[in-house]
Amino acid sequence: MSRFVNVALGQLGPIQRTDSRQQVVSRLCALMREAHALGAHLIVFPELALTTFFPRWYIEDEEDINSFFEREMPSAATQPLFDLARELGMGFYLGYAELAQEQGKAVRYNTSIIVNRQGEIIGKYRKVHLPGHAEHEPWRRFQHLEKRYFTPGNHFGVTPAFGGIFGMAICNDRRWAETYRAMGLQGVEMVLIGYNTPVHNAPAPQHDDLSLFQNQLSMQAGAYQNGTWVVGVAKAGLEEGVDSIGGSCIVAPSGEVVARCITKGDEVAIARCDLDFCAIYKRTTFNFDLHRRPEAYGLLVERKGETLAADGTAVGVLNAP
C-alpha cells in the first residue's frame, strides 16, 4: 500500500523591507489556496518567509532588529494562515525569525515549524548551521549577519506527520551532509527546507555561476544518500537590491528532481510523493544496519584546532601509509 503525500512548493518572490506581515500573509494564503486547488496536502514556504532577509543589513538598534521577529506563533498577523490551513485541510512548513523567552531572557532563532492538516504546530526546528559573519564587514556588497542576529539550534529531530516521518532543515543546513544523515539515522522519509540564497557569495564570487547547481546538488545528494524525499523552497528574486536564486524543487529518494519552480516570483508547483518509495533505498543501497561502518570512520571528537579519537587520544593522519 502506498502512502502518498501531495506536496506543493510555495515559492516566494521578494519581500521588501516595508511590506507588512499582513501583506505577506495574504500572499502565503493565495499560494495555499492555489496549492489546494491542485490537490496538495502540504505546502512548503521559504526560510524567514514573513519578512525581507534582514541579515543583509548591519542594524544596531535592538528594537529595529526585533521588528523582524515573531514573539508568538501564531500571532494575530499569522493566524489567518493557520485558519486557512484548518479550513482547507492543508499542512504547511513556515520559516520565520523567532524571539523566544528562555529563563527570562530573549533569545533569537532562525526557526521553522511544521503545521498539520488541522492547523496545529507539530514540530519546531532552529537552524543549526548559521552562515555568514557576526561583525560588520563593509567590504561586502551586502552583509550576511546570521551569526549576529541568531543563536544556533543544536539538534535535528524528526516527527510523525502526514502518514510518515518528517524532518526540517533551513537554508545553509542543506549544504552539510550531516544534516541529512542525522535525520536519516532517525528514519526520515521527507526533509522540508526553506532558503534565501543570494546569487552572489561574497567570500567566493567565483562560485556565483554555480549557485543554482550547488543548491540542487546538495539536496539531491542528501535525498539519495539517506533514502528520503527532500523539498527545498526559495525566497527568490531581487529583494532590496540583492538577487536571490529560485530553484525550488522536490527531490525523490532516487535523487531525481520530480517538480520545480521555473520563475523567481510567487509560484506553486506540486508533486505526488510516495513515502513508500523510500524503502527500496533504505532496505538496499542505504541499509545502514547492513552496510554502514561507523567504527571505520574514526568517529572523531573534533575540538577547535585539534582532532581526537573517540577515546580522547590525539590522532595524526588517519590510516597513514
Interacting residues with ligand ING (CB under 6 A): 131, 171-172, 175, 195-197, 201
Tell me whether residue 171 is one of the annotated catalytic residues.
yes
Catalytically annotated residue among 70, 98, 146, 171: 171
Least Å distance, CB 172 to ligand ING, is 3
Q: Per-residue DSSP letters for 33-57?
A: HHHHHTT-SEEE--TTTTS--GGGS
Quote the least distance from Cβ 132 to ligand ING, whole Å. Answer: 7
Give me the DSSP letters along 95-130: EEEEEEEETTEEEEEEEEEEE-TTS-EEEEEE-S--
Annotated catalytic residue within 47, 98, 239, 267:
47
Q: Which is nearer to ligand ING, 175 or 181 (CB)?
A: 175
Show the cell assigned to 96: 520565520
User: Which residue out of 127, 235, 264, 282 is catalytically annotated?
Assistant: 127
Q: Which is nearer to ligand ING, 208 or 274 (CB)?
A: 208
Query: Which CB sits closer to ligand ING, 197 or 228?
Result: 197
What is d(CA 235, CA 95) in angstroms, rounded to the nearest whole number? Answer: 10
Least Å distance, CB 7 to ligand ING, is: 21
Strand (E) or helix (H) holding 303: strand 301-303
Cell of 239: 529583494
The set of cell numbers assigned to 231 is 523539498
Residue 169 CB, nearest distance to ligand ING (Å)? 10
State which residue, 51 or 197, has the beta carbon closest to ligand ING.
197
What is the rounded CA–CA span in Å between residue 297 and residue 310? 11
Q: How far apart (Å, rounded) are the C-alpha atoms in residues 34 and 298?
A: 49
Residue 54 or residue 277: which is nearer to ligand ING going by CB?
54
What is the C-alpha separation between 188 and 36, in angstroms, rounded? 25
Task: State which H helix or E strand residue 250 sits in.
Answer: strand 249-251
Q: Kind and range of the H or E element at 33?
A: helix 21-37
Q: How far is the CB of 164 from ligand ING (least distance, A)?
A: 26
Contact 141, 121 (CB under 8 A): no
Considering beta carbons, is residue 24 or 84 the nearer one to ligand ING?
Answer: 24
Angle at alpha carbon of residue 250, lines to 244 and 252, rounded to 5°: 145
Considering the complex, what minimum distance in angstroms separates the CB of residue 317 from ligand ING? 28
Q: Do residues 249 and 209 touch, judged by C-beta distance below 8 A?
A: no
Q: Which residues carry out catalysis? A: 47, 127, 171
